[in-house]
């Protein structure tokens, strides 16, 4: 199973929110690059970086942090938050992101995302599907769209996108366990989907349950920063030597 630590950034610092509420932010490190280095030293090979300032501002903001992470580690970084234009996308790639997560733009401008898929290829793009009560939320989770999750996924997967980052907003940051049944149902309906589960992971048993459900990858952050998971033991159980 691919294990992906998350670094969420506000004002250049590593933070976590609860259910996407900016008023709940808690700072865990002043320098996200230090956190990235630590994750690499433990044995992780992939990193999920979220520009929360970008998600709120509707354009990428924390490119300097992304640039430092990709220069000072060899982690494979997927970057999201505020990518609304091709300029945003290009800036993220130029700053060293290996993959870009497309959330709100995939709801508001399908044609543009499909053009990016043709230009950059499926291996560089991740479809962000942030879900609340079965519907896709956008713009930093502050707005709910009319799109239902499964048709949304079916549409983009039929167009050739492969990587999907699905977050159950109702569980995000609560450390009460992930929406394993939801992710299992996605894998049953779309067995070739490279699904990344996100939201609610509280301990190693949660990760084992996701693996048993056939989920190929998981993003988690708060459980790391709150000391809920022994990362050395986790890496020993799920070696990350190859991607």
> How far are the Cα atoms of 29, 84, 114, 148, 207 from residue 174, in angstroms, in the given order?
19, 28, 34, 23, 15
Among residues 78, 130, 172, 206, which one is catalytic? Answer: 130
C-alpha to C-alpha distance for 85 and 10, rounded to whole angstroms: 21
Residue 3 pLDDT: 98
C-alpha to C-alpha distance for 87 and 31, rounded to whole angstroms: 26
Spans of the chain, pLDDT less than 70: 140, 242-243
Residue 140 pLDDT: 66
Specify whether 206 is catalytic. no
Is the entire prediction scored with pTM above 0.75?
yes
Structure tokens at 69: 């992470």
Residue 102 pLDDT: 97
Structure tokens at 152: 């949304």
Specify whether 8 is catalytic. yes
Residue 241 pLDDT: 75
CATH, range 2-237: 3.20.20.70
**DSSP bridge pairs for 136:** 131
**148-178 pLDDT per residue, tens:** 999 999 999 999 999 999 999 888 777 889 9
C-alpha to C-alpha distance for 42 and 77, rounded to whole angstroms: 16
> What are the residue boundaries of the structural domains of the chain, listed by start?
2-237
Helix axes 204-212, 180-189, angle to 10 degrees: 20
C-alpha to C-alpha distance for 18 and 26, rounded to whole angstroms: 9
Rama region for 195: left / alpha / beta (φ>0; ψ in -120 to 50; rest):
beta
């Amino acid at each position: 199973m691919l294990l992906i630590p998350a670094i969420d950034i506000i004002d250049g610092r590593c933070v976590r929110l609860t259910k996407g509420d900016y008023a709940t932010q808690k700072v865990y490190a002043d320098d996200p690059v230090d956190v990235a280095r630590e994750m690499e030293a433990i044995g992780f090979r992939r990193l999920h970086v979220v520009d929360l300032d970008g998600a709120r501002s509707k354009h990428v903001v924390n490119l300097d942090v992304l640039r430092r992470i990709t220069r000072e580690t060899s982690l494979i970084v997927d970057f999201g938050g505020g990518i609304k234009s091709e300029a945003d996308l290009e800036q993220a790639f130029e700053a060293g992101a290996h993959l870009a997560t497309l959330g709100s733009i995939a709801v508001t401008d399908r044609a543009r995302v499909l053009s990016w898929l043709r230009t950059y290829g499926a291996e560089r793009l991740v479809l962000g599907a942030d879900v609340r009560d079965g519907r896709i939320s956008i713009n930093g989770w502050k707005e709910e769209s009319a799109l239902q999750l499964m048709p949304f996924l079916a549409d983009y997967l039929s167009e050739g996108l492969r990587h999907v980052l699905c977050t159950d907003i109702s569980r995000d940051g609560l450390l009460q366990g992930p929406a394993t049944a939801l992710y299992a149902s996605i894998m049953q309906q779309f067995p070739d989907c490279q699904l990344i589960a996100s939201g609610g992971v509280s301990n190693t048993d949660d990760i084992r349950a996701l693996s048993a459900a056939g989920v190929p990858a998981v993003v988690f952050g708060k459980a790391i920063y709150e000391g809920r998971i022994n990362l050395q033991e986790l890496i020993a159980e799920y070696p990350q030597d190859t991607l």
